[in-house]
Amino acid sequence: MIKESPLSPDHAAHRETVPAGAYWMHPVCKGQVFRIVDLEGNQAADTLFYSADDPAERYSAVDTIREQRNVYLGVGTKLISTDGNPMLEIVADTVGRHDTLGGACSPESNTVRYALDKKCMHACRDSYLLAVTENDQFGLTKRDITHNINFFMNVPVTPEGGLTFADGVSGPGKYVEMRAEMDVIVLISNCPQLNNPCNAYNPTPIEVLIWDAA
């Protein structure tokens, strides 16, 4: 479902561009609205959420899809924590649907998926590991790197149980927006993957915006 947001970027409390291959780790408070913009199109934003009060409580892909009885994320999806609590709700989306089955790329999974000699190419999980290590005030480590959301990515499941990686349903300027239902820490790896079409073989910047509660 496509639903546009009434919010204007001119009134955002925070606005920042995140280059491909970089991470963005930032708190979002309960009631604030958080948007990710796919500036140039076909860019995967690999995203994790942690409860700010208790980071051991974090986004859970399996609890989210089971509770909504659907594998795709879109408007109305409540992003559920490992403790069964709603962390954020998707309130606007100009893409249509987002993936949470495919996980994040890593040097190790690149060796399996593409070739053994791809191991030294930059990957999302390296960005995550640098993020949690550089920002140790949050108390996160590799233990906390879990199954993420791939905003803007299209991973169709077939009725026969297959998984396919289709070209993006996203495009330049498309966005997804969510309202925080608890204080969260957002961790995004703006995906550097060069080996598959998730970024159209050309990783590009995203923009993140935060609006204060109305």
Partner 1 sequence: MSIRDVLHEEEIPGGKHWSFTVGRGTLLRLVDIEGGANVGMLFYNPANLLERYNAPDTLKGQHTFRLSAGHCLYSDMGRVFCSIVEDTAGWHDTVCGNTTRAMVAARWGVKSYQEHRNDWTQNGRDSFLVEGAKYGLGRRDLAANVNWFSRVRTEADGSLVFDGGAAEPGAHVTLRFEMDTLVLLHTCPHPLNPANDYPRKPVLLRFGKADPVAADDACLTSRPENGRGFANNHFHHLCG
**Strands of 45-51's sheet in order across:** 23-28, 184-190, 45-51, 149-151
**Residue 15's beta-bridge partner residues?**
209
Residue 107 DSSP SS3:
helix
Nearest distance from C-beta of residue 211 to partner 1, angstroms = 29
Question: Please, which residue, 13 or 115, has the CB nearer to partner 1?
Answer: 115
| Least distance (Å) between residue 161 CB and partner 1 | 3
Count CB atoms within 10 A of the CB of residue 114. 16
**SS3 call for 178:** strand
84: left (phi over 0), alpha (psi -120 to 50) or beta: left
> Closest distance between partner 1 and the C-beta of residue 113, in Å?
5
Q: Closest CB to partner 1 among 163 and 213?
A: 163
Q: How far is the CB of 38 from partner 1 (least distance, A)?
A: 21
Residues that bind partner 1 (CB under 8 A): 56-57, 60-63, 65-66, 69-72, 82, 84, 97, 101-104, 106-109, 111-113, 115-116, 125, 142-147, 155, 157-159, 161-165
